[in-house]
Structure 1
Amino acid sequence: MEEVIKCVVVGDARIGKTDLLKKFSKGRYIPADYESQHITSFENCNVEGVTVDGEPYCLKLFDTGSLDDSLASRQHLYPNTDIFLVCFSVVLPESFENVKTKWIPEIKLQCPKPKFVIIGLQADLRHTLKNTFAGDKNEPIATDEGQKLAKELGAIKYVECSTQAKVMF
């Protein structure tokens, strides 16, 4: 029987957390207009056969997407979490700031020594929108800024991805 890894995904609303989980669990990107409903929802699920250091695990994924405004509802998911995926959008600087000022402090209230990975989502939009933000304080977050924050906060790793472009960096 495979050991279970509990994985909780947190981050601001509408940054692509649910798309990331759908892509990972189903192995492909599912456009929003393809979905039968237009709300952001992901049924918590188990992904069997995940390999970590050569050992098989069952990854139990929990999406906080529908709980973005409910601190109490989110916090009941935090105890006994093996790893958190703390997400932000690389084109929404406020979501980047919230990693440090909201999400990590919130997690640490329930789990004093959490293991977490910081994920920069919507990486495909960074270059598409770069000229739109030129000289603006809302300029997209650079990869090295994400890496610096991950190191500062003690993350296991920093990664970027684009579920639409099917790219993980």
Structure 2
Amino acid sequence: MRRMGKKLKGESPQLVSKNAMSKKPTPQPTLHKVIMVGSGGVGKSALTLQFMYDEFVEDYEPTKADSYRKKVVLDGEEVQIDILDTAGQEDYAAIRDNYFRSGEGFLCVFSITEPESFDATQEFREQILRVKNDENIPFLLVGNKSDLAEKRRVPLEQCRERATNWGVPYVETSAKTRDNVDKVFFDLMREIRSRKSDESRATNGDVKGKNRRKIKCAIL
């Protein structure tokens, strides 16, 4: 009986250890970081708030950048989206580069009723490419206020031509009617996810290549 007692006593820690090892931490949803860029007053905040809370806020002029985070289901997978809504004001340009560095994808927004805001997208695009040093960064050109078609001053063909020249998608939205609001955020997240997948495969390929080279050297 004493031997049995000792045996059971010796087995107990092993059982506890196995149970402890079987409890793996729940993986956190993948986080996709989106930056809203564009001139002031084009509806960046209205788009963000409509996506986040299903609310249309017509007169919202932030004096600083606002950050939002939300869990969503992207093609059957739960993910998190982190949205940084920049102020779009000239005196904000000094720290804009820091925001651009942190972003994984960009929604570049202009108003189809304001040609000046459309012209400004060129500068935003150049700044992002300079900071990221990457021509293929996930990026969507967004023409907002499509509900104001009668006040349109930026021709549709001109918008599409610019997007084609940049090699990026072009989508028109309305924060007021919610038209295409979810689409632009989800499409951008898909682009970010695809980019991360490509980078992961490239990294794994490099590691495997290094391992192969190491084995070859060992044989020699």
* Match of residue 72 from structure 1: 94
Deviations 1:100-152 (A, max 9, x none): 2x10011111112221001001111232x25xxxxxxxxx1133322221111
Q: Tell me, which stretches of 5 or more residues in structure 1 are unaligned?
A: 33-37, 131-139
Query: Normalization by structure 2: what TM-score?
Result: 0.63
Distance 1:107 1:15, change over 3 A: same
Question: What secondary structure does 2:66 align onto?
Answer: coil
1:94 partnered with 2:107: no
Give the counterpart letter for 2:114 in structure 1: L
Relative to its length, the structure with more helix (as a share) is 2
* Match of residue 164 from structure 1: 176
Relative to its length, the structure with more strand (as a share) is 1
Deviations 1:66-94 (A, max 9, x none): 65532122111111421100011101111
Q: Note if contact 1:9-1:84 (Cα within 8 Å) is conserved in structure 2.
A: yes
Q: For the aligned residues, what is the CA RMSD?
A: 2.0
1:147 partnered with 2:160: yes
Aligned with 1:30 (options 54, 57, 75): 57
Q: Note if contact 2:39-2:89 (Cα within 8 Å) is conserved in structure 1.
A: no
Matched residue pairs, number? 151
Cα distance in 1, alignment partners of residues 124 and 66 from structure 2: 22
Percent sequence identity is: 23
Q: Work out which of the two has the higher radius of gyration on C-alpha atoms and give 1 or 2.
A: 2
Q: Note if contact 1:11-1:86 (Cα within 8 Å) is conserved in structure 2.
A: yes
After the TM superposition, which residues 112-127 of structure 1 pair with which residues of structure 2 at under 5 Å, given as runs? 112-113=133-134, 114-127=137-150
Question: What secondary structure does 2:99 align onto?
Answer: coil
Q: Tell me, which stretches of 5 or more residues in structure 2 are unaligned?
A: 1-27, 182-220
* Match of residue 136 from structure 1: none
* Match of residue 15 from structure 1: 42
Q: Which runs of 4+ in 1 moved over 4 A?
A: none
Q: Note if contact 2:173-2:180 (Cα within 8 Å) is conserved in structure 1.
A: yes
Cα distance in 2, alignment partners of residues 64 and 55 from structure 1: 28
Deviations 1:2-53 (A, max 9, x none): 0000000000111111111111111221343xxxxx64367311011241x4
Q: Which has the higher contact order (CA 8 A, sep 6+)?
A: 1
